[in-house]
């Protein structure tokens, strides 16, 4: 598969389980973030050993606006730009089954992660920052 990620930079939240593997395998440089240091570092080491793009781990909680700003700053500071943002983090841990989610839980689950991080990354993703030529945001 050719995702055309060679030389691109991606930021993936909730990434201690492996969602960023294909991005790195395609040659993209990837910053992965999650709340748990041990699993996150192990994931980064595994991806780096597999070859492809560089993978860096950042411990952060996307439910906190200051962590969202720090994640974006770290990504751009490390790789100089940001092309792809994958919102994959859940802001709450135990929300029940899909069909039992209340409106409040949906907002807690996606609202903070998507709104905070997207607003921090927007100038880099859209190209208005002039360090990138456009990009993409995916919320999973």
**Neighbour order of strands in the sheet with 84-87:** 55-59, 29-34, 9-13, 84-87, 136-139
User: What is the residue-level pLDDT of the chain in tens, covering all 140 positions?
Assistant: 676 778 889 898 877 666 677 888 888 899 999 888 998 899 899 989 988 889 999 999 887 888 888 998 899 999 988 888 888 776 555 556 666 767 776 666 666 555 556 666 666 655 555 455 556 655 55
The two tokens of residue 97 are 């089954």
Q: What is the tally of helices (H) and strands (E) in the chain?
A: 5, 5
Separation CA 57–CA 45 (nearest Å): 9
Write the class of the CATH domain 9-139.
alpha beta
The pLDDT value given to residue 20: 79
User: How is the chain split into domains, by residue range?
Assistant: 9-139
């Amino acid at each position: 598969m050719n995702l055309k990620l060679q030389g691109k930079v991606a930021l993936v939240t909730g990434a201690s389980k492996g969602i960023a593997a294909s991005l790195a395998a395609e040659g993209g440089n990837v910053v992965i973030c999650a709340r748990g240091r041990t699993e996150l570092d192990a994931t980064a080491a595994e991806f780096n050993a597999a070859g492809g793009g560089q993978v860096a781990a950042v411990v952060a909680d996307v439910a906190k606006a200051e962590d969202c700003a720090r994640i974006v700053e770290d990504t751009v500071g490390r790789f100089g730009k940001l092309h792809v943002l994958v919102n994959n983090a859940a802001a709450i841990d135990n929300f029940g089954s899909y069909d039992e989610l209340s409106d409040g839980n949906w907002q807690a689950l996606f609202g903070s992660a998507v709104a905070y991080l997207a607003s921090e990354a927007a100038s880099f993703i859209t190209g208005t920052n002039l360090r990138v030529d456009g990009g993409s945001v995916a919320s999973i």
